[in-house]
């Protein structure tokens, strides 16, 4: 008796990335966290990056240049740069040697120039000169890591993400929103506790709070909108 033909095995499907599990918090802690973000929202309902940009491409370039640099220094450089090269085509025509003088005041400018020219070429050759707004494609571009992709997607309100820099890391610990020891651990904690409707804005609230109020050395607790909700206040203020 002839054996039935073997059927080809179906390729295993890639497991979907799970959404961050909601933390089990006591009602009082849930209320505290909700009040923290409610106050941030009351203070600034639509926070945005302080990097200057006019398109997804200029945003990607600005965020890539901002690694280990201040937004002020990047804006100063891109104000001149984007006047002559605000598209992948113009950037590629400018070339690596032409780009460097515009960004030489920014740290790691040699590597950043190389990456910006390389990603401009890829955008032209593979995406018709448009920035792909999917995480995996963004992260595949030279110089665009997970954090940069998160900032871009979140700023454009495409994907909720909370990129963790030094400011977000510091504020999250002082407010005891996280005790994570790495940026990824802090991000996971924040994504699990921040109310869904606020996730696209939480990154900006935390970074701006850390930049202007909850600064590293001498936090301005007297001006803090969430001071009475901060467990770390007692470390800096004697009532």
Do 100 and 113 meet the contact criterion of CB atoms below 8 Å apart? yes
CATH of 56-155, one of 3.30.460.80, 3.40.50.2020, 1.10.340.30, 1.20.1260.10: 1.10.340.30
The residues annotated as belonging to the active site are 147, 165
What does the buried/exposed string (b/e) look like for 30-51 if buried means 16 or more CB atoms within 10 Å of the residue's CB?
A: eebbeebbeebbeeeeebebeb
| Length of the chain, in residues | 239
From-to residues of CATH 1.10.340.30 in the chain: 56-155
User: 3-state DSSP call for residue 148?
Assistant: helix
Given this model, what pLDDT does residue 10 score? Answer: 42
Phi, psi of 73 (to 5 degrees): -70, -35
From-to residues of CATH 1.10.1670.10 in the chain: 27-48+160-232
Q: Where are the alpha helices (DSSP H) in 20-70?
A: 27-43, 56-65
Write out pLDDT tens, residues 53-89.
Answer: 999 999 999 999 998 899 999 999 999 999 999 999 9
C-alpha span between 51 and 65 (Å, rounded):
10
Do 172 and 206 meet the contact criterion of CB atoms below 8 Å apart? yes
C-alpha of 163 from chain center: 4
Given this model, what pLDDT does residue 59 score? Answer: 97
Burial class (CB in 10 A: 0-12, 13-18, 19+), 54: exposed
- Which residues, other chains included, contact 177 with Cβ-Cβ below 8 Å and sequence gap of 6+? 33, 36, 171, 189, 190, 193
Given this model, what pLDDT does residue 68 score? Answer: 87
C-alpha span between 142 and 115 (Å, rounded):
5
CATH class of 27-48+160-232: mainly alpha
What does the buried/exposed string (b/e) look like for 69-92 if buried means 16 or more CB atoms within 10 Å of the residue's CB?
A: bebeebbebbeebbeebbbbeebb
Low-confidence ranges of the chain (pLDDT < 70): 1-23, 239
């Amino acid at each position: 008796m002839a054996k039935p033909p073997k059927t080809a095995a179906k390729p295993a499907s890639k497991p979907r990335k799970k959404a961050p599990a909601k933390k089990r918090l006591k009602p009082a802690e849930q209320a505290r966290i909700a009040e923290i973000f409610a106050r941030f929202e009351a203070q600034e309902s639509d926070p945005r990056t302080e990097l200057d940009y006019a398109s997804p491409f200029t945003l990607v370039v600005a965020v890539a240049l901002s690694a280990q640099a201040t937004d002020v220094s990047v804006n100063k450089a891109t104000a001149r740069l984007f006047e002559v090269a605000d598209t992948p085509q113009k950037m590629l025509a400018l070339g690596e040697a032409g780009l460097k003088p515009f960004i030489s005041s920014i740290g790691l400018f040699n590597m950043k120039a190389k990456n910006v020219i390389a990603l401009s070429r890829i955008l032209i050759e593979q995406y018709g000169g448009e920035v792909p707004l999917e995480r995996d494609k963004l992260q595949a571009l030279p110089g665009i890591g997970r954090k940069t992709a998160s900032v871009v997607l979140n700023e454009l309100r495409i994907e909720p993400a909370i990129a963790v820099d030094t400011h977000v890391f510091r504020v999250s610990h002082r407010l005891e929103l996280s005790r994570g020891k790495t940026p990824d651990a802090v991000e996971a904690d924040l994504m699990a506790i921040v109310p869904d409707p606020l996730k696209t804005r939480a990154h900006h609230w935390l970074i701006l709070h850390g930049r202007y109020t909850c600064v590293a050395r001498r936090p301005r607790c007297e001006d803090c909108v969430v001071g009475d909700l901060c467990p770390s206040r007692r470390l800096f203020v004697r009532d």
